[in-house]
Amino acid sequence: MPSDDANLIPLESIASPLSMLYKWEIEKADNRYMTQPIGESTLTYTWKETAREARKVAAALLAKNYPKGSRIAILSKNCAHWMIVDLGIMMAGHISVPIFSTAGKETITYVLEHANCPFIFIGKLDNMQAQEDAVPESVTKVGFPYPGIEVETTWESFTDIEPLADSPIPDMNEIMTIVYTSGSTGQPKGVVHTYYTICWAAQNSLIAMSVSEQDRVLSYLPLAHITERVLVELASYYSAMQILFVESLETFTRDVNACQPTLFISVPRLWTKFQLGVLAKIPQKKLSFLLGLPIIGKKVAKKVRNQLGLGSARLWASGSAPLAPSVIEWFDTIGIQISEGWGMSENSAYGTGSVPFRNDKIGCIGKAYDGVDIRIAEDGEIQVSSPCNMVGYYNEPEKTAGVFTNDGYLRTGDKGIIDADGYVKITGRLKDIFKTDKGKYVSPAPIEAKLMENSIVEQVCVTGTNLPQPIALLVLSLEARNHNRESIEESLGSTLKSVNNSLESHQRLDRIVVFMEEWSIENDLLTPTLKVKRHVIEDKFKQVIQAGHKEIIVWNS
């Protein structure tokens, strides 16, 4: 279904991030742009200071005499210097290759070799020594100026150079970045974006979300991921909004309160944690009672928003994976209206959005953004055409050819439907659909969403290839793990009965297997964007899945 293009910025009018940097460097020279917490202090950058540091990075890279268009890697958590080097790489005429800060040795080595990177910037990491050791000796390493980062070349020595005096403007058809996917199967693919493709999405996102210079955003989701790159970093160049960073997971609450973001983008797992954090302080029964009181209810809702650090927010969003409708409805009761959106690395994270929020469209991923054409193929696949679709997969022409239709639409791999108002609903992933031993096909996503409506469920994976009936593997919330087994089994048993009553006979769950240890990036069961690695889970817990049990609630030790 085509969108309404009335408000669209045409491709030929898209400016480069560097053009915007040079503009703000003059027009907003002393305006604060970035704030970076370091311990108990903060480091701030104005637009003029940001441009000066980026110019130093560009000059130092040019001094290396790498061929134009060399791939320069960035391996770091989000920080001010991540964005400074990204600008410097552009200014030097090279191509940025971000690597997730949680990447293991195999992924780091693969990306650096696949993209043939001669140089890497290394910043804040949780497993510094092991991750640095994954970088081949042939690759030059430069460290960011934060505590605990010790690599062969320091930031101070690398940037001890006169800033680049020129203000180069890239050809918008040139490659700007290669974004390696955080996929759950196989080696990551290098998604190639030109300045046109990725910046078209970023500049038009300002219109879609009404972003302006008055906005503040907290950058904490991985900048190596397309969503944060487009809707936070690149969008900030076009809007001149302020960006504040998180120092660490431990300081997240402090940093979000210091930021008081006006825009807040998160992922389902974090929204769920926020909800559980609130309910740990005030039980649902008491909260519901207070919210129902005419005047007190509004004051309570405001207090909860303020305690979350979201009291100043005007737009809340969620992406990466489906958020349970019950969670969205719960947040709506405290005045936080979460708009779901959908996109992929391959289309610059710019597909659909539920802005403005509509209570009657909860469970949908929104309508196509201006300039985006979405259609449903015969097999139910969502296919998308837009100027922000990638050029292709780096050095993989066969995979590139396979992901585009003959008429140029991107095959997303997601199944979905479009209602009469143009709102899209995802019904599952084509590759996630499995067949039971009865020959019946089951789409796990809708069943998982129903199970997630129970607040004691934090993570879930429905599986059942070659089983008589599907089963659910799930992880309990941190709070629920402290409850006694009897009450947990009673709650899950009730949920199982309710869910099964809503399903066709071949979809009904035979049992629930409860895991006490959470699935995480560290144990390789979640992607860097906190999506469940379904096939890894199925392989790792194969014996558990195949085992026969009489009980409907099974505890896995």
pLDDT in tens, the chain (557 residues): 555 565 677 777 899 999 999 999 999 999 999 999 998 899 999 999 999 999 999 999 999 999 999 999 999 999 999 999 999 999 999 999 999 999 989 999 999 999 999 999 999 999 999 999 999 999 999 999 998 898 989 999 999 999 999 999 999 999 999 999 876 556 889 999 999 999 999 999 999 888 999 999 999 999 999 999 999 999 999 999 999 999 988 888 899 999 999 999 998 888 988 998 898 899 999 999 999 999 999 999 999 999 999 999 999 999 887 888 888 999 999 999 999 999 999 999 999 999 999 999 999 999 999 999 999 999 999 999 999 999 999 999 999 999 999 999 999 999 999 999 999 999 888 888 888 887 888 889 889 988 988 888 989 999 988 889 999 999 998 888 888 899 999 999 999 999 999 998 889 999 999 998 889 888 888 888 778 888 889 989 998 898 877 889 999 87
- Cα(557)–Cα(447) distance, rounded to whole angstroms? 24
Pick from 387, 393, 388, 441: which is nearest to 415 by CA? 441
Span(s) in the chain for CATH 3.30.300.30: 433-556
Asked if residues 114 and 69 have their Cβ atoms less than 8 Å apart, the reply is: no
Helix (H, G, I), strand (E, B) or coil at 229: helix
- Cα(395)–Cα(386) distance, rounded to whole angstroms? 22
- Cα(349)–Cα(362) distance, rounded to whole angstroms? 20
- Cα(128)–Cα(144) distance, rounded to whole angstroms? 12
Q: What is the DSSP letter of 497?
A: H
Q: CATH number for the 433-556 domain, one of 3.30.300.30, 2.60.40.10, 3.40.50.300, 2.60.120.10?
A: 3.30.300.30
Helices 80-91, 47-62: crossing angle, 10 deg rounding: 50
Span(s) in the chain for CATH 3.40.50.980: 13-32+39-194
- Which are the contacts of 85, defined by CB distance < 8 A and separation ≥ 6? 54, 57, 72, 74, 96, 121
Instruction: Look at phi and psi of residue 360 and say left if phi exceeds 0, alpha if psi is from -120 to 50, else beta.
Output: alpha
- Cα(154)–Cα(157) distance, rounded to whole angstroms? 5
375 burial class (0-12, 13-18, 19+ CB within 10 angstroms)? middle
Cis amide prior to 168 (ω within 30 degrees): no
Q: Are strands 32-38 and 242-245 parallel, antiparallel or unpaired?
A: parallel
In this structure, the number of other CB atoms found within 10 A of the CB of residue 104 comes to: 16
Asked if residues 127 and 83 have their Cβ atoms less than 8 Å apart, the reply is: no
Alpha-carbon dihedral of residues 543, 546, 548, 554, nearest 10 degrees? 70
Asked if residues 434 and 461 have their Cβ atoms less than 8 Å apart, the reply is: no
Asked if residues 410 and 346 have their Cβ atoms less than 8 Å apart, the reply is: yes
Provide the CA 147 distance to its chain's centre, in angstroms.
Answer: 26
In this structure, the number of other CB atoms found within 10 A of the CB of residue 285 comes to: 8
Asked if residues 399 and 414 have their Cβ atoms less than 8 Å apart, the reply is: no
Provide the CA 24 distance to its chain's centre, in angstroms.
Answer: 28
Q: According to DSSP H, which parts of 39-171 are helical? A: 47-62, 80-91, 105-114, 128-133, 155-158
**Domain 13-32+39-194 in CATH 3.40.50.980:** yes
Tokens of 340: 């779901």
E strand or H helix that includes residue 318: strand 315-318
pTM of the entire predicted model: 0.88
Tokens of 162: 């006169």
Give the residues across from 263 on adjacent strands.
217, 315
